[in-house]
């Protein structure tokens, strides 16, 4: 496994070692010792999978209590994955970062607690797996506006195409009004 720290403090892109042969391939998606040696020493309590069609945009989500760290992986399809640092004490506060995750490269994104997370599905039948460090708490869930100009996110949507959004995601808060972390 190779871990690559990203430009926002604590965020890490992980590339597993893939062993392939005529039958297919094998790789470790999670190994507590290996990840801890890379600075990701966490306990996961829940695993979720979402299935989306092309141009579905989910996020940018976070919880203000029962704050979650997330390990994101694409099982099928591809996503334009985005995180936003919401920790006021961080030098990255208010900055966004994006990476592409897909089924071919098997990469994972570690999103530390204190970040908002979202993605745009780039293919039909995209399956995204999330391992999280705390349980879902609907009363604590918040949504940051996906299209807040202050975040500088350039979503790769074809000209004239609007993302498919849930009602909750349509009501996301601008960063200037959003609840953040110390």
Active centre residues (catalytic):
61, 130
| CA within 13 Å, CB half, 82 | 26
Q: How far apart are CA 12 and CA 157, in angstroms?
A: 25
Which pair of structure tokens corresponds to residue 179?
Answer: 């609840």
Q: Is 54 left (phi over 0), alpha (psi -120 to 50) or beta?
A: beta
Q: Which helix (H) or strand (E) holds 118?
A: strand 115-121
SS3 letters across 10-75? CCEEEECCCEEECCEEECCCCCHHHHHHCCCCCCCCEEEEEEECCCEEEEEEEECCCCCCEEEEEE
Spatial strand order in the sheet of 115-121: 96-102, 78-85, 115-121, 57-63, 141-143
For residue 180, give the nearest of 148, 155, 132 by alpha carbon.
148
């Amino acid at each position: 496994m190779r871990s690559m720290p990203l430009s926002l403090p604590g965020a890490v892109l992980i590339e597993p070692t893939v062993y392939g042969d005529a039958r297919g391939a094998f790789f470790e998606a999670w190994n507590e010792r290996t990840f801890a040696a890379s600075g990701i020493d966490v306990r996961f309590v829940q695993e979720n999978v979402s299935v989306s069609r092309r141009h579905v945009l989910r996020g940018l989500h976070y919880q203000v209590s029962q704050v979650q760290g997330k390990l994101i992986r694409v099982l099928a399809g591809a996503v334009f994955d985005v995180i936003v640092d919401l920790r006021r004490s961080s030098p990255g506060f208010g900055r966004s970062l994006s990476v592409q995750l897909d089924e071919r490269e098997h990469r994972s994104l570690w999103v530390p607690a204190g970040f908002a997370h979202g993605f745009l599905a780039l293919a039909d039948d995209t399956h995204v797996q999330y391992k999280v460090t705390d349980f879902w708490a609907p009363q604590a869930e918040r949504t940051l506006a996906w299209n807040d100009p202050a975040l500088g996110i350039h979503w790769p949507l074809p000209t004239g195409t609007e993302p498919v959004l849930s009602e909750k995601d349509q009501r996301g808060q601008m960063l200037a009004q959003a609840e953040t972390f110390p």
